């Protein structure tokens, strides 16, 4: 509990004491790249990874931190460099390409007919830091067939301890949590 209070103090101090012109922008670290033979890709059916749906309070540019069971703050000086939904979607696609061999994950592309492809929908209600010293990722993923019926789904509840204080540590812990999430999804596809 004491560590959690110290972490809150450090994060809040960073938000409140930062000069107006010293904004920090963050991106999730990229997944390690994989090399796959084109013939292997052609043999796999496509899996269309739909854009990640975030709770409305997460969809803004400020990194979110939960200060209690009922209160959250959105950082003013520590923000995502670009849409966190797009960053998560791209990470899921890249990581699933190397972690399973059932499908070839791709982005939604309005120029292609993807109606006969299976789809993966990820919905997150939490993607934030917490007063207890963890990064939290919660929600649900759903695999949908070409007929619009759920083939499989699972709830998501991942808590990753922060290895240090501050937003750098929070972004790192969220990234590790995403890696764990794609491990879970890959084993169930």
* Domain range summary for the chain, segments of one domain joined by +: 2-20+36-188
Position 18 scores a pLDDT of 40
Averaged pLDDT, 176-180: 97
Please give the CATH topology (third level) of the domain spanning 2-20+36-188. Answer: Rossmann fold (3.40.50)
Averaged pLDDT, 49-69: 97
Beta bridge partners of 160: 135
| Each residue's pLDDT tens digit, 78-98 | 999 999 999 999 999 999 999
Angstrom distance (rounded) from CA 107 to CA 156: 21
Percent of the chain scoring above 90 in pLDDT:
79
Say if CB 67 and CB 139 are below 8 A apart: no
| Each residue's pLDDT tens digit, 142-155 | 999 999 999 999 99
Position 14 scores a pLDDT of 47
Angstrom distance (rounded) from CA 63 to CA 125: 14
- Cα–Cα–Cα angle for 126, 131, 137, nearest 5°? 20
Position 30 scores a pLDDT of 85
Beta bridge partners of 3: none
pTM of the full structure: 0.86
Higher-scoring residue by pLDDT: 128, 12:
128
Position 15 scores a pLDDT of 45
| Each residue's pLDDT tens digit, 12-57 | 544 444 444 478 999 999 877 677 777 777 789 999 999 999 999 9
Strands 53-54 and 118-130: parallel
Position 70 scores a pLDDT of 95
Written as six digits, the tokens of 60 are 């803004």
Q: Among the listed ranges 14-28, 106-120, 172-186, which one has the minimum average pLDDT value? A: 14-28
């Amino acid at each position: 509990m004491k560590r959690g209070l110290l972490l809150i103090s450090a994060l809040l101090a960073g938000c409140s004491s930062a000069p107006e012109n010293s904004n920090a922008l963050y991106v999730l670290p990229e997944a390690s790249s994989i090399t796959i033979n084109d013939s292997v890709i052609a043999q796999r059916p496509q899996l269309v990874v739909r854009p990640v749906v975030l709770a409305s309070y997460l969809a803004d540019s400020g990194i979110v931190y939960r200060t209690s069971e009922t209160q959250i703050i959105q950082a003013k000086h520590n923000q995502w460099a670009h849409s966190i939904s797009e960053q998560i979607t791209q990470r899921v696609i890249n990581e699933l390409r190397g972690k399973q061999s059932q499908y070839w994950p791709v982005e939604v592309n309005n120029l292609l007919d993807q109606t006969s492809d299976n789809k993966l929908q990820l919905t997150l209600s939490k993607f934030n830091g917490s007063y207890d010293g963890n990064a939290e990722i919660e929600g649900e993923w759903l695999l949908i067939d070409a007929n619009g019926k759920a083939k499989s789904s699972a709830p998501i509840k991942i808590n990753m301890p922060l290895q240090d204080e501050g937003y750098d540590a929070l972004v790192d812990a969220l990234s590790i949590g995403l890696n764990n999430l794609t491990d879970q999804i890959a084993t169930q596809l």
